[in-house]
Structure 1
Amino acid sequence: MHSRGGRSEPSPTTRRAALTGAVGLTAGLVGATGCLGRADGARVLAAGSLSVPLENGIGPEFETETGYRYEGEYYGTNALLRMVEDGTKYPDVVVGADVELLRDRLYPDHADWDAEFAANEVVIAYEPETNLGQRLAAGEPWYEVFADADDGDIAITDPDLDPLGYRAILLFELAEREHGLEGFREAMAEAVYREPDEPQLLAGLENGNRACAVAYSNMAAERDVAVRELSDAYNFGNPAYADRYAAVSYTTEGGQTVEGSPVVYNATVRTDAASPKIGRTFVSFLLENRDLLVEHGLRVGDSLPRFHGDPPEEVEP
C-alpha cells in the first residue's frame, strides 16, 4: 500500500498485464518482455486512462488489420512526457490526456504535429456500501459528502504525474468558488489518497480501502463501479465551459503551471521515432476507428479529429 501523498514513480501497465487482468505490472517484468524495444511494431507510450481501450480494443484490431504488432506502456501524462524528454523511453507514438501539456513539453524538439482524437469527462466513482457512497447515491451534494470524509477515504491520481490528478484538485477549487467553500481545495488536497499508478486508481474501491475516487468516465465503466456524474460546470467534459475550467490552475512539484481544460486526448509520432511509418499508420488507425473508442467509453464528437501543426497526409482520415 502506498502512503497517502506519496510521489513514487508509477509502474507501467503493459499488454500482457491488461490482457491477464494484472493492470500495473512492475517495471522489472516490463524490461523482461522488451516492451517498446522492438522495431517491427507500433511502440506506443500513452496516458494510463487509455490502457484498456488500447490493449483490449485498438491494439488487437490494429494488429489484425495491419499485420504490425502493437506494444504499449501506460503512465500518467506528465510522467510519460518526462520520459520522452529525458530519453528514458523511445516510443514511436505518444498519446496524452491534456492537449496543451503535450504541445508544451514535446514541441518542437520531439514533435511538430498532433491529432486530437477522443474526449472524456471526470466523474466520482464510489462504493455503494460505504457511508459516503450511500450519501452520494441518495443525491447529497458531492462536495458536502467529500467535506465529511476521513483522510484516505477518497482517492485521486497523483497531480504531479498526470492530468486526472490535477483535474481532481481543480474540481475541488471549482466547487470552492461556486459554493463559497473557503479552504475546500486545500483541505481536500490534504485529505485524499494519491494513487501514483493511474490504472490502479479504482482498485481501492474494489478491495475496500477507499470509499470514492475521482476518475474518468471510461475508467469507471470499464470496472463497472457505481458513478456519480458531475455537471458540465465541474466535469471538464464540455468544450463550451473551457473558459470556466481555465480559471483554475495547478502548479506541479516541478514548477510547471497547468490550467484547467476539457479532457481531450491527442497523439503524435515522435520526429525521431525508430519506426515513423508504422507510428503514422497507428495514429491513422486511431482516427479511422471511432467505433472502437466509443465502445470503450470515450467520446468522439463531430468536432474530432482535429489537427495541430502540419500532419503528414497518410494520417489525415
Structure 2
Amino acid sequence: MFNLPCKKVSIFFLLVLLLTSSFLSSVRSKELIMFHAGSLSIPFKALQESFKSYYMERFGEEVSFRSEISGSIEAIRKVTDLGKRGDIIAVADYALIPQLLFPKHASFYILFATNEIVLAYSEKSKYRDSINSQNWYDVLSKEGVSFGFGDPNQDPCGYRSLMVIKLSEFYYGKPVFNSLIASNTNITSLNCEIHVPKIIKVNSRKIVIRPKEVDLAGLVKSGALDYLFIYKSVAKQHGLGYVELPSEINLGNISFDNIYERTIVFLEYIGSKIKGIPVVYGIAMLRDAPNRDLALDFISYMLSEGRRAFIDNYHDFLEKPIAFGEVPKEIERLVEVR
C-alpha cells in the first residue's frame, strides 16, 4: 500500500517520456550535403545556423549539414573525379563551375560575393612596421623572411597569388615573379603565362604552401610564417594585419579586369588554363542533388536574408547576384539572369 504513490509517479514520468519521444520523432529531419571553399567556412557556418532556425520556424523541420571544406578545385574534383554526391557546391572562383562542372554536373550557377587578395601578417612578422604597398616585394625578398599561399593546384587563392605576383611585374616594372617564385620553386613563367607542375617543389625556408590558404593563418599568427597571400575577408576574420595591394594587381576591382586577364595560369594537375579575372564567388546546385528542394530553399535564403552572414564576416555581397544557365524558377526573382 505504501508503494502506491511511487508507482503513480513512475507511471507519470513514463507517460511524459513517451509523449516527449513521440513529439521528437514527429519532427522530421533533413540533411544538406555541401562542398565549399575554405574561405567560405566562417560565413557558411553562420549561414547554416541561421537557416536551421529559419527552416524550423517556417516548416517545423530540422536541417543538418554535412559540409566538406577544401580548396575549390579539390571540391570540384570530389564530384567530377571521385563521383561523390552532394546538393550544393560553392567555390571561390565562379569560372571553375562552367569550366569544370558544366554540363554534366551542374546546369546553372550564381555569382554572389567578391573579395580581393591582400598580404597578411601578424605582430610577430619581420619588418611588419615598415612594409607597405610599394615595398612589400622587397620585404618578401629579404633574407630570413618567409611567406606562403594556398596550393595553386587545389585552391584559387593559390593560383591567384601567383597572378598577383605576376601582375606586379607590369605594375612596378621589376622582376618580382622571378625574385619571389621562380627562384624558390619549380613554378615557371613565360611572358604572361604561369606554369604550375603537378608536384610543386619549394625552398621551404622561404615559401610554405598548404592545400588551402586558411590552413596558413595559424602559422602567421604563431610567427612560424611571416606573410601570407590571402583574401581580405579571411585576414579580417582571423584578426591579421594586412597590406592592401594596388587595385591594378589585387584582383578585387572589376574596373581592371582587362589588366587582370593579361595573366594565365596553366595547372598541370587538372590540365586546364585559368585566366585572370576579378575575385568573385560562385554557387551551384549539383544535377544529382539528393535534396533538390531543400538545396533551392537554402540558396534562396542565402540570396535574401542570409546574405547577412557574409556581410558580417567582411565579404562584399553583390546587391543583385548574377545567374547563368538553366536558372530554376524558385530563385529567378532573386537574381539577374544572363
Q: TM-score category by the smaller chain?
A: 0.7 to 0.9
Helix, strand or coil at the partner of 2:84: coil
Alpha-carbon separation, structure 2, partners of 1:224 and 1:308 = 35
Contiguous gaps of at least 5 residues in structure 1? 1-38
Q: Secondary structure at the match of 1:65?
A: helix
Alignment of 1:168 onto 2:161: yes
Question: Structure 1 residues 192 and 88 mapped into 2: Cα distance closer, same or farther (>3 Å)?
Answer: farther
Number of matched pairs: 274
Q: Kindly indicate whether the alpha-carbon contact (under 8 Å) linking 2:39 and 2:234 is maintained by their aligned counterparts in 1.
A: yes
The structure carrying a bigger strand percent of its residues is: 2
Corresponding residue to 1:47 among 32, 37, 54: 37
Q: Hey, what does 1:292 align to over in structure 2?
A: 309
C-alpha distance in 1 between matches for 2:32 and 2:312: 22
- Provide the C-alpha distance between the structure 2 equivalents of 1:301 and 1:267, rounded to a whole number of angstroms: 13
Determine the C-alpha separation between the residues in 2 that align with 1:73 and 1:136. Answer: 36
CA contact (8 A) 2:150 2:212 kept: yes
Give me the whole-angstrom Cα distance separating, in 2, the residues matched to 1:59 and 1:96. Answer: 16
Question: How far off is 1:88 after superposition?
Answer: 4.4
| CA-to-aligned-CA distance 1:12-61 (integer Å, 9 cap, x gap) | xxxxxxxxxxxxxxxxxxxxxxxxxxx92221100110011111x10101
Label 1:105 to 1:162 Cα distance change in 2 as closer, same or farther (>3 A). same
Residue 122 and residue 149 in structure 1: after superposition, are their counterparts in 2 closer, same or farther (change >3 A)? farther
1:208 to 217, 223, 227: 223
Report how far residue 225 of structure 1 moved: 0.9
Indicate whether 1:185 and 2:177 are aligned: yes
What runs of 5+ residues in structure 2 fail to find an aligned partner?
1-28, 57-62, 185-205
State the match for 1:18 in structure 2.
none
Q: CA shift at 1:149, angstroms?
A: 5.2
The Cα RMSD (Å) is 1.7
Question: 1:36: which partner in 2?
Answer: none
- Corresponding position of 1:75: 70
SS at match of 1:131: coil
TM-score, normalization: structure 1? Answer: 0.82
Aligned-residue identity in percent: 26
Instruction: Name the SS of the counterpart of 2:329 in structure 1.
Output: coil
Higher CA-based Rg: 2
Distance 1:205 1:281, change over 3 A: same
Find the residue that maps to 1:174 and give its secondary structure.
helix
Please name the residue that 2:257 is paired with. 242
Letter of the 1:59 partner, please give it: Q
Deviant stretches of 4+, over 4 Å: none
1:59 is aligned, of 48, 71, 82, to 48
* TM-score normalised by L of structure 2: 0.77
5 Å matches for 1:1-317?
Answer: 40-55=30-45, 57-67=46-56, 68-136=63-131, 141-148=135-142, 150=144, 153-182=146-175, 184-189=176-181, 190=184, 191-254=206-269, 255-288=271-304, 289-302=306-319, 304-316=320-332, 317=334
Distance 1:81 1:147 in 2: 34
